[in-house]
Amino acid sequence: MKYLKVIAFTHKQIELKEIGRLVVCQENLTEKLQQVKTQFGIPEIFYLATCNRVEFVMTTPQVVDKDFAKRFIEAFNTELCEHSLSTFMEGASIYEDQEAMIHLLRTSCSLESLIVGEKEILAQLRKAYEHCREAGLTGDGMRMIMNCVVKTAKEVYTHTNISKNPISVVSLAYRKLKDLNLCSNARVLIIGAGETNRNISKYLQKHKFSNFAVFNRTVSKAQQLADDLNGEAFDLEALKTYNKGFDAIITCTSAVEPIITTEIYKSLLNGETGRKTIVDLAIPNDTAPEVLEQFPVNFIEVHSLNEVAKRNLQERYHELVHAEGIIEQNISEFLTQLKQRRIEVAMRQVPEKIKEIRNTAINSVFADEVQGLDKESREILEKVINYMEKKYISVPMIMAKDILINEN
């Protein structure tokens, strides 16, 4: 945990709309991370982006302060101007060592989320880590950290009521949508086939909505969601020519520029002039600001859910205390595991060294004496040496672990 560092930009210090400017297109993500990993000599790194945070988790012996963070973000996101960069640095949170671990555990348990108690953050965190692990951006250290993160989150969700009657950004957005009293045969356009839209689609299905068209950059993924909804599937380009009209748009993509421009929105209206509904859960928003200025729209976005989130936090205060206790216990256990791992790594060569000594003794130092033994005597000698070899390997390992674990 000594070298664990986190650079975090969250809803607590930065406007959600601004956080969206730090989001990197998924297609360029691995390349960008590999670039900064090499440039800054970072052994392990992964990137987390959700509707209310962008974070960089890394292991490095370097000092990670605001100056480092500024140079890092400058290299990672070359599109930010100096003024924007300075603004982000003012709102950046930097954690290191045990504080960084506590922050990750709190994040995985949703204690740092806009909506305390929502479980989506754990899935997002695991997915972000897995993406970087598969890309070769992480190693053994991050593996141990993530094992602890997942274990802790599961214990919090199992042994507290923090997620009882769970409330998430998706469920809150659906409640607002439901308040608008759309009829069940309303024409719903779903833009993006990721986890967020799949989740809100489940709410729509549950409440008997049945008229769907799904648009996604990858048509095969659009088709999967459309099949689940008994709807139609299209690629994103089809938004420009779609002419069946709509009553509501549900959108959440990883695009860094607006998907719903004034031109596309006007085309989608297909001549209709009534007030429509847009549920935009993307960060940054998929809807261009000009659309809201020029057309009558019921607009539901993550930013508008803040007040509900504050009430949610107050209602779950007592569960927070219980969750903090679970986190503290897991931190203590993880420190012990880290010490044991340090011993294992430090003594990794002991078995090889003992085998070398054994081979030298049998094949060189006592070669003549061994050759002079009869078959039965040599088998007994072999058994004795094997026994002694195992003990010489295990005893110092056990003693070293006990000493390290019990040291002040």
376 marked among binding-site residues: no
Residue of 164, 174, 156 whose CA lies nearest to 248: 174
- Would residue 216 be called left, alpha or beta, if left means φ above 0 and alpha means ψ between -120 and 50 degrees? beta
| Distance (Å, whole) CA 70 – CA 198 | 36
Residue of 49, 110, 104 whose CA lies nearest to 77: 49
50 marked among binding-site residues: yes
Question: How many whole angstroms from its chain centre is CA 136?
Answer: 16
Residue of 146, 119, 124 whose CA lies nearest to 4: 146
Residue for token pair 């008994």: 230
120 marked among binding-site residues: yes
Element spanning 406, H or E: helix 375-406
Alpha helices in 92-247 (DSSP H): 97-108, 120-134, 140-159, 169-179, 195-206, 219-229
> What are 344's two structure tokens?
């294992």
194 marked among binding-site residues: yes
119 marked among binding-site residues: yes
Secondary structure class of 235 (helix, strand, coil):
strand
408 marked among binding-site residues: no
What residues contact 144, with CB distance under 8 A and at least 6 apart? 334, 337, 338, 341
> What are 175's two structure tokens?
């409640």
113 marked among binding-site residues: yes
356 marked among binding-site residues: no
197 marked among binding-site residues: yes
Residue of 96, 91, 143, 111 whose CA lies nearest to 334: 143
158 marked among binding-site residues: no
Report the catalytic residues: 51
For residues 157 and 148, the answer to whether their CB atoms sit within 8 Å is no
For residues 46 and 24, the answer to whether their CB atoms sit within 8 Å is no
51 marked among binding-site residues: yes
| Distance (Å, whole) CA 184 – CA 92 | 44
Q: What is the DSSP string of 47-115?
A: EEEETTEEEEEEE-SS---HHHHHHHHHHH-TT--HHHHHHHHHH-EEEEHHHHHHHHHHHHTTTTSSS
Residue 221: exposed, middle, or buried by beta-carbon count in 10 A (0-12, 13-18, 19+)? middle
Annotated binding residues for substrate, written as ranges, equal 50-53, 113, 118-120, 124
Annotated binding residues for NADP(+), written as ranges, equal 192-197
Annotated binding residues, written as ranges, equal 50-53, 113, 118-120, 124, 192-197
